[in-house]
Amino acid sequence: MTLLDCAGKPVDLHRPRVMGILNITPDSFSDGGVFISRDAALERARAMVAEGADILDVGGESTRPGARAVSAQEELDRVIPVIQTIAAELGVPVSVDTNKATVMREAVAAGAGMINDVMALQDAGALAAAAALDVPVCLMHMQGLPRTMQQNPRYQDVVAEVMAFLQARVEACLASGIPRSRLLLDPGFGFGKTLRHNLLLLRHLERFNELRLPLLVGISRKSMIGAVLGDAPVDQRLSGGLACAVMAVERGAAIIRTHDVKATADALCMAHAVMKCEV
């Protein structure tokens, strides 16, 4: 499966694609808790598209370790006006980053063409909501919940366990009427994983190809990069993120979710040129 139909906006996965992150959350912008306006979000979205974003992922609830949950209404108030505006004005598909059934429905009605769910449709009503919406869904693995997930993550074999979880979620989707052609998988870097778990997942990412679904990977600016680079602060993690992005596409990742669109698009373009060059 190499073509995603995101509500009429196709994404061809014959080459690695870039998903730009547009977080509409107070802790995502250093603005003292004031949400970005619709205009500012549109400007940022336009800039990411100009830099090479193939999809924009709009989220209204932070999933960082320790983040507090927000109500569905709060999330709707944050994301719906932004999705309406950018879906109407820009040619690229908009993905909604949510685990709530109501937000999925309203976001798709507002123009979103994809669902990115870090809870892999496990929340109440999410499977049924996604089944009723004709858009691709990214199922991500997480051990625990964002508030506590980094307290003591444990696995016997992280790669096998994450794969088994994703396979079980694929089966749940199929049983609910979501076809394979609408599914993507994500091992969930940083979600209930130690540094070693994250490194093992990236090193062995090609094993996930056994599940025969497109892989989405998000490592951009995450703490695993900071840890490897000697406590590098968030604004010093770009090179590490690019190295991880290239390793991920070499191992089969189809989409890289990132804050740093231009640099990632260039790195993936270079990696793809090397990967497709044959004697």
Judging by DSSP bridges, how do beta strands 114-117 and 137-140 pair with one another? parallel
The reply on whether position 97 binds ligand 9MG by CB under 6 A is yes
- Residue 233: CB partners within 8 Å, gap ≥ 6? 226
60 is a contact residue toward ligand 9MG (CB under 6 A): no
Q: Which of 59, 60, 192, 240 binds ligand 9MG (CB under 6 A)?
A: 59
Under rule CB under 6 A, residue 85 binds ligand 9MG = no
Cβ distance to ligand 9MG smaller for residue 48 or 140: 140
Least distance to ligand 9MG from the beta carbon of 277, Å?
29
Instruction: Name, in order, each residue with C-beta under 8 angstroms of 251's C-beta and a sequence gap of 6 or more.
Output: 202, 205, 206, 209
Residue 206 contacts residue 249 (beta carbons within 8 Å): no
Interface pattern 172-201 for ligand 9MG (x via CB under 6 A): --------------x-xx------------
Task: Determine the Cα–Cα distance for residues 151 and 66; give it in Å rounded to an integer.
Answer: 10
Query: CB under 8 Å to 262, separation ≥6 — which residues?
Result: 51, 52
Q: Which is nearer to ligand 9MG, 188 or 241 (CB)?
A: 188
State the pairing for strand pair 114-117/94-97.
parallel
**Active-site residue flag, 9:** no
Q: Please identify every residue annotated as catalytic.
A: 222, 257
Residues that bind ligand 9MG (CB under 6 A): 59, 63, 97, 116, 118, 138, 140, 186, 188-189, 216, 218, 257
